[in-house]
Chain A
Amino acid sequence: MYQFINTVLIGITSGAIYSLMAIALVLVWRSTRVVNFAQAGMALLSTYIGYECIQRFHSFWLALFIAMIAGAGIAAAVDSVFMRTLFRRVSHGPIAGVAPIIATLGLLGLIRAGLGLFVGNADVSIRPPVSNIGYTISGHTLAFSPLKLVIVSSAMTLMLALSLLFSKTNIGLSLRASAFSPEIARLAGVKVDRVRTLGWAIAGAAGAAAGILQTPNGTGALSPDSLDFSLLLVFGFIAAVIGGLDSLLGAVLGGLLLGLVLAFVLTYISGSLVFITAFVLLIIVLLVRPQGIIGMNRGRRA
């Protein structure tokens, strides 16, 4: 019984992080129709900035805040400088359809190698802000610790803030309008290009938060070629696809579902099957329900 509760709590914690990453991917996909594989690189860069802040100011919360601002700035710069140039220059030819994918992947490699060049490839560690020793309930020690509570509640708070932004504010309305139909939104007076960059910025902040929260949730170690960030990207992508790639709610649910499934596999079957399970889950969703768990029945389009 305790093991079951443990597993659920662990699953929700890592699921919340996957959700944040999935949200970042979905936001960019909705506004630009690009799966931003560079998101892992941007998150990595922001996490390093956050790490520097922790070293200087000894405050995890300040670091999270600064990293999110930095992530937003990086993403906005990537969209307004890099992606816009790309779309202007590569509009036809056999590569036009795949150029954005290749370019974001190139950016991921560039950020990782560039970061390694400056800070080196040795592991640094992010000290968790609170204890990572599990709560004890009537003699049983749970795997759920104050740290995990902090992680899961910050992720949930951010998602709540995002959903309020999208449903209650004018900015959210123009973001949704631009994603739904850029042409009509432009006619209605929305500055679509600027809104698009804003969408990227929010995505960058969400990705940065995922990166900063993910690091102490795992081993606490951080390095430019860490597998954790590649996995974060892959799991975020799988979560986004489970949710239909087009829906923020879907991304959140997809992340939690993925987190729970992986936690159960880890606890009850074997740690070596975690990645295979995630991959099989991705293939099954793509084959059986390509529109995602809550998507409308529209079929896939690129």
Chain B
Amino acid sequence: MHKIKSTNFTRLLFFIVLGVGLFLLGNRVDELRVYQGATLAMYVIAISSIILLTGYSGQVSLGHGAMLAIGGYAAALAHEHLGLPIWICFSIAVLAAAAAGAVLGTAAARLSGPYLAGTTLALAVGLPSIANQFPILGGEQGLLFDVGAPPARLGADFTQYKWYFWIAALAALIAIWWLQNILRSRYGRMWRAVRGNEVAAELAGIHIGKSKTLAFTVSSGLAGLAGGVLAMTISTVSPSAFPLSLSFSLLTGAVLAGVSTLSGVIIGALTLVATPEIADAISRRLGNSENVTTNLPGLLVSALLILVVLLVPNGPVEQWRKFRARSLHEVTHR
């Protein structure tokens, strides 16, 4: 089979085609699906930020929900107090989360595995309570984040959620395209080298600490963008929008995507979007008791996380590749 050589141009073209496809799709489905599409785009950005961190630089963050929260609050603050246009708000979300990530990453670069995990977990546990204590962050109610109605020239039947979906999908496409490029650049090679063997990478002239800090910073920036998108789709930021279970879900999505394969990110995102619906269907069948409806989504996500780590630790995409490689091998050597 002839393999198309992947160049910058073909990849850009691919993303443009994907974007047009999404645009056409967005016009054909109902409101709920459009809303889910926006959520899906948010998950794609957030999960890819974890994949970058865990799969490409070998660090693990249990509290990426905190980075989303920083991004969301930054966007909402910029919008409410400075009245900036929405795109600048998103850029501010990215920058704010990246700055926080740089600070944490400097500490994190010196920490390995469990220390970083514990530190990020602490941040995710504590951040909501911090947000409660500063009046500028709006306390328990949080802040409104209203990106405004869609432009009038898009027509009268262009709904609010469709507008959210457009913005979210565009943000996700740009983020993934950019991330793919950076993973193919010398930075991507640097991160993979450090993950593979720290000593060998250091001998090859890579500064381990700087490399890890950079990975953490970029990953946090992406998470901040996801936070901005999340805040937009629910049009508010509050401590309860970024619970600890959000961090758990994102990690589950990343593991499902296969932490080292960016192409699996859509599997993780789809699963996260589908889980509440599946949980809903099951709890309806079980008679809608309150215990079931509140806890079933969390139960499913955690169970999925454990099962994937135990059964297909490198993710279904990687597993499928391995399986195909093995069967090809058998065919050719028969």
Contacts and interface: CB of A to CB of B under 8 A. Distances in A.
Interface string B113-150: 11101110111011001100100000000000000000
A286 B118 CA distance: 11
A117 B292 contact: yes
Interface string A97-113: 11101110111111011
Interface of B is mostly: helix
Interface residues of B, number: 51
B251 A94 contact: no
Given A34-B114, A120-B290, A234-B126, A112 B298 contact: yes
Contacts of B310: 85-86, 89-90, 103
A98 B111 CA distance: 13
A296 interface: no
B248 A109 contact: yes
Interface in A283-302: 283, 286-287, 290, 300-302
A87 B62 CA distance: 20
B294 A241 contact: no
B255 A102 contact: yes
A290 B302 contact: no
A57 interface: no
A101 B306 contact: no
B291 A98 contact: no
A231 interface: yes
Contacts of B251: 102, 105
A230 B125 contact: yes
A116 B220 CA distance: 32
Contacts of A219: none
A114 B299 contact: yes
Contact of A300 (B58, B60, B112, B118): B112
B113 A98 contact: yes
Interface in A248-302: 272, 275-276, 278-279, 282-283, 286-287, 290, 300-302
Interface in B268-317: 290-292, 294-296, 298-299, 301-303, 305-306, 309-311, 313-314
Nearest to A86: B310
A118 B119 CA distance: 31
A187 interface: no
Contacts of B195: 94
Interface in A101-143: 101-103, 105-110, 112-114, 116-121
Contact of A90 (B58, B114, B313): B313
A30 B121 CA distance: 21
Contacts of A279: 122-123, 126
A109 B246 CA distance: 11
B309 A102 contact: yes
Interface of B: 54-55, 58, 60, 62, 107, 110-115, 117-119, 121-123, 125-126, 129-130, 133, 195, 244-245, 248, 251-252, 255, 259-260, 290-292, 294-296, 298-299, 301-303, 305-306, 309-311, 313-314, 318
The 8 A-B residue pairs whose C-beta atoms are closest, nearest first, are A109-B302, A113-B298, A106-B305, A272-B133, A302-B112, A113-B299, A116-B295, A35-B114
